[in-house]
Amino acid sequence: MARKNEYNYFDAFVNLSKFSLNSAEILHNTLRNFGTINLSDKIKEMHEVEHSADIAKHDVVNRLLKEFLPPIEREDIISLSQKIDDITDAVEDVLIRIDIFNVKSIRPEILEFTQLIVDCCNSLYLALQEFENFKKSMTLHSQIVKINSLEEEGDKLYINAVKNLYQKSKDPIELMIWTEILHRLERCCDACESVADDIHSIVMKNS
């Protein structure tokens, strides 16, 4: 849909989703190898990804200010750019909470959750690669459905993990810490679904 030699907003969406996927991979690998790596270095690495994502998002908005006729509605471009960036912010928030709560070890269900977030971000990245040619794409719809399915898995994982936590622990500090972290993890999946919903809405409006 983008014309030759013009700024390609669809490529920009893909680029933004790369930051989200990268942040999800950093989170998962950091927690999977927790205790054997320097957490402060990983937080710095995560923040650099988040900062680069912010710059990329602002570039999209600045381009849009100069655009005479964007390929899709302006508010859709702004909303989609912001919501993709929200994923990166949500993922960073998880690692920040791990640090400020001085977590010493990672519960097994947390790694299951972080892998699920990686899968969500990867499916979103694949969906956005197909987004520009949505009228001909054979895989865009299936990726959106997959993201919705993964988000539902996230809901179930969150409910089961919190239930298990409160059944096995009476320590108020432990309960507070892991309830908050699990909530932040669920928000990552919700953020991915929000982007998928935006894509679906834009496709419907332009079909």
**pLDDT tens string 92-135:** 999 999 999 999 999 999 999 999 999 999 999 999 999 999 98
Summarize pLDDT for 155-167 with one digit per residue, the tens: 999 999 999 999 9
pLDDT band for position 36 (cuts 50, 70, 90): confident
Instruction: Give the residue extent of every domain in the chain.
Output: 9-205
Measure the CA–CA gap between 65 and 87, rounded to whole angstroms. Answer: 24
The class of domain 9-205 in CATH terms is mainly alpha
pTM of the model: 0.94
Q: Does residue 122 contact residue 21 with C-beta atoms inside 8 Å?
A: yes
pLDDT band for position 5 (cuts 50, 70, 90): low
- Per-residue pLDDT averaged across 63-78, rounded? 92
The 8-class DSSP code of residue 206 comes to: T
Neighbours of 3 (CB within 10 A): 9
Summarize pLDDT for 140-152 with one digit per residue, the tens: 999 999 999 999 9
Residue given tokens 């990268």 in the structure block? 22
- Per-residue pLDDT averaged across 193-199, rounded? 97
Q: Does residue 66 contact residue 163 with C-beta atoms inside 8 Å?
A: no
* pLDDT (0 to 100) of residue 107: 94
- Per-residue pLDDT averaged across 76-88, rounded? 97
Residue 207 has pLDDT above 90, yes or no: no
Measure the CA–CA gap between 93 and 108, rounded to whole angstroms. Answer: 19
